[in-house]
A and B are shown apart, each in its own frame.
Chain A
Amino acid sequence: MKLRIVVTLKNGVLDPQGKAIHKALDGLGFAGVNDVRAGKLIEMDVADDTGDTAIDEMCRKLLANTVIENYRVERA
């Protein structure tokens, strides 16, 4: 089973990388970009019988720092 785990900074947490990307897009002349947030994508291939609890635990214990980040699991 293929998983895509999307880790993003929580709302309200300053995202300097997103701000830099936003500024660069402005510099390229793309108008109408209201906000940019940068995150990270972790792709995993796991055994088909891997349970939701285990996946959730992987996210909370290592893949995301839940003090500052949210995560979302997508199953391919």
Chain B
Amino acid sequence: MKAAVIVFPGSNCDRDLAVAIREVGGVAPDMVWHGDSELPEGLDLVAVPGGFSYGDYLRSGAMAARSPIMRAVTDAAARGMPVLGVCNGFQVLTEAGLLPGALMRNAGIDFVCRDVSLVVDNTQSLFTGGYDAGETISVPVAHHDGNFFADDETLDRLEGEGRVAFRYGESVNGSARGIAGVLNAAGNVLGMMPHPERRIEKAHGGNDGRRLFEGLLAAVA
């Protein structure tokens, strides 16, 4: 299994994501600088981390989405490479056009930083095969711009095609139809606001995020 974690200036969850991939997959991922224009050869997974890339200037994820490495990620995704974006990584993937919709300011304005309940909506995907259908898990969120927005037609399509991976089990940020994570049409790109990489050890308050990495890494290995 060979994975890469993209490193943008300002991101603060790249290490967490690398630790989760290493702990579960047994191999440390390559850390790839945003200014690079090519991904390493032979990758099985690209992970786009959370945490304030480029200081969230302009819009969260807007600058990162236009960085040189994202052209390579977009090309790889089009060829079917699995791509996981968490939190700011989700924002980057929507800004890059790899996922539909946009992430807006939380409806309650406040930065939300706490554990939330998440319902696993689709267990057939590359990313969610480690979960049981309709299962509720607990994963932390930490974001200011997690309010998922898309027009009704897009939302209907996402639901109709089974592309909602996770929904919030409670009111968190005003997201359309409670959507917390979505898949692209081909199913190889997942973006989600909650942080599964922060829930891989029971000693850290739970390990509900671990099965995402277990399912994903088993699927791509």
Q: B209 → chain A, closest Cβ, in Å? A: 28
A-B CB pair tally, cutoff 8 Å:
33
Asked if B174 is at the interface (CB within 8 A of a chain A CB), the reply is: yes
| Interface residue SS majority, chain B | loop
Total interface residues in chain A, CB < 8 Å: 13
A13-B149, A14-B147, A14-B174 in contact; A65/B95 too (CB < 8 A)? yes
Asked if B72 is at the interface (CB within 8 A of a chain A CB), the reply is: no
**Given the complex, which residues of B lie within 8 Å of A63, measured CB to CB?**
58
Q: Which of A19, A61, A63, A68 has the most CB of B within 10 A?
A: A68
Which residues of chain A from 28 to 74 have any CB-CB distance to chain B below 8 Å in the complex? 61-63, 65, 67-68
Q: B172 → chain A, closest Cβ, in Å? A: 14
**Given the complex, which residues of A lie within 8 Å of B94, measured CB to CB?**
67
**Given the complex, which residues of B lie within 8 Å of A17, measured CB to CB?**
105, 109
Q: A10 → chain B, closest Cβ, in Å? A: 10
Which residues of chain B from 141 to 155 have any CB-CB distance to chain A below 8 Å in the complex? 147, 149-150
